[in-house]
Amino acid sequence: MAIRRSKRKSKWDTVSTFLYPLIFTGLLIAAWQTKLLHRLLHVDEFILPVPTRIVTIIQENMESILTNLQSTVIVVIIGLLAGSLLGYLIALIATAFPHWGSGGLTLVSCFNAVPVVALAPVIINWTRDVSSDVEFRSMVAKCIVVMIFCTATMSINAYRGLTEVKPFSEDLMYSYAANKFVIFWKLRLPNSITYIFTALHVSVPLAVITAIVCEYFAEYIVGVGRMIRENIVTAQYATAWAYIVVACVLGIGMYLISMILESIFLHKRK
């Protein structure tokens, strides 16, 4: 009887995890569409257009939105991959040299404390001599900023995965006369996989937000973030909200992809 109750509770917890956010979202959209939200927040429809108006604008400007979305996605993917690889490499070096590893990771983690709005203009000015092509050097600058923030997240989590192994497991490997490479390949690397996906779950939305903020300051006028800024400046709030919705969908979509990849890789390990 207790087992059945436990299973029912587990199933309900799984359902409620998705059900409650869906109910809240539905109520929020209903209040938004019926303009109840406008009355509660004391804003007019010009500043906060209703959802149907936003959807209409997205449909009417689909070609332009896809062009800007493509630019943002490229920056996010390149910066995320480069930052994750560099972060894992730093974690490997810190694991190989433990005497200074934790101190080096502390310095790397300091980058997470730097605001994007402070770092992005510096990197953009720093990369002005990279190329005479404005589009290319703007893309490089945005990718570097995204890479920096993703590097810090990945290095800290990967280092934990590489070092926080069960003591008896490491002792068992030594009892089999395993060298450091075998211990890394058979023990430390598999142990770090779950930590890698934990880092990705943090880095994916961080990469999207960083790329969008960087586009505010970029030289080349392209990207979801730049379109949000341009439309707000020209008081085209409905179009700006359309790009904000696109940015939200991008972040949620990429986060779901990271969760799917985690389920695939971890399922194979079981």
Quick one: pLDDT band at residue 129, thresholds 50, 70, 90? confident
- The Cα–Cα gap between 153 and 157 comes to 6
Please give the pLDDT value at position 144: 93
Q: Contact, 198 vs 270, CB < 8 A?
A: no
pLDDT tens digits along 9-34: 566 566 666 777 888 888 988 998 88
Long-range contacts from 12-18, C-beta under 8 angstroms, 24+ separation: none
Quick one: pLDDT band at residue 268, thresholds 50, 70, 90? low
- The Cα–Cα gap between 128 and 125 comes to 5
The interaxial angle of helices 134-163 and 116-126, nearest 10 deg, is: 130
- The Cα–Cα gap between 91 and 206 comes to 20
Pick the residue with more confidence: 6 or 236?
236
Q: Which of 26-40, 110-124, 179-193, 238-252 has the lowest mean pLDDT?
A: 179-193
- The Cα–Cα gap between 243 and 22 comes to 22
- The Cα–Cα gap between 115 and 210 comes to 10
pLDDT tens digits along 163-190: 877 777 766 676 666 677 777 777 788 8
- Residue ranges with strand state E in the chain: none
Tally of residues, the chain? 270
Q: Which of 119-123, 127-131, 161-165, 177-181 has the highest mean pLDDT?
A: 119-123
Query: pTM of the entire structure?
Result: 0.85
Quick one: pLDDT band at residue 246, thresholds 50, 70, 90? very high
Please give the pLDDT value at position 224: 92
